[in-house]
Amino acid sequence: MVARVGPVVEWWADCHHTDVRRPYAVVFGARGLAVAKPTVNDRGGPAQLITVVPFVPSSLRHAVVVQKPTRRVAGRPELPAGHSAPSAVGEVPLPRQLRDLLGNLPAEAQARLQWPFVNGDVLDESDRYYHGGSNELDVWAYLAGRRWVTFVSGHGIGLSGPVHRASWRLICRQAEVAGR
């Protein structure tokens, strides 16, 4: 996979949801996004299907999104854990589990991840992965469209309390898709 997408920027791997004995991996590289999913070859044996979304050279950009705990604003109701303030992004047709994960992230990260799709790009594929518990979480997610790929990764703490107490450090990446 690395040979096809260049030096690894971010990645995750886990057992695939269809078979816990079969691996699944996502590699976000300097030159593309690669996803390896378990499949069956023409003889009925286990195989991996690797799909690659190549990037336009030198189009990879990133932004760091930091949310620090704040004091609760007097007169405003507290949002419970797992509910972020409404964001200004439009409706992007995301799978429920991805939408739920993104709903926990700061509004700026949500907007950066979804901006190409709010502005006309067509979402072809997306996925997410997280590790942790109710108070601390490591997250990775990508949205791949016909013109853009966006990717977020990072760490959040203080997530089991009110939203204003949560702290996040995320890196949001974007790259333009080269002709496939």
Provide the pairing of β-strand 136-145 with 123-132.
Answer: antiparallel
SS3 of the chain: helix, strand, coil, percent, to 5: 15, 50, 35
What H or E segment, with its residue span, contains residue 47?
strand 46-54
With CA atoms as reference, report the closest residue to 54 among 87, 24, 32. Answer: 32
180: confidence class by pLDDT, cuts 50, 70, 90: low
The Cα 50–Cα 3 span in angstroms is 12
When mean pLDDT is compared across 21-25, 83-87, 153-157, the lowest value belongs to: 83-87
With CA atoms as reference, report the closest residue to 36 among 54, 14, 58. Answer: 14
| Tens of pLDDT, residues 158-169 | 888 777 788 999
The Cα 158–Cα 84 span in angstroms is 13
**What's the mean per-residue pLDDT of the chain?**
87
Domain ranges of the chain: 2-54, 61-176
| Tens of pLDDT, residues 59-83 | 999 999 999 887 655 554 444 444 4
pLDDT at 90 over 70: no
Judge contact between 148 and 118, C-beta under 8 A. no
Give 128's strand partners: 141
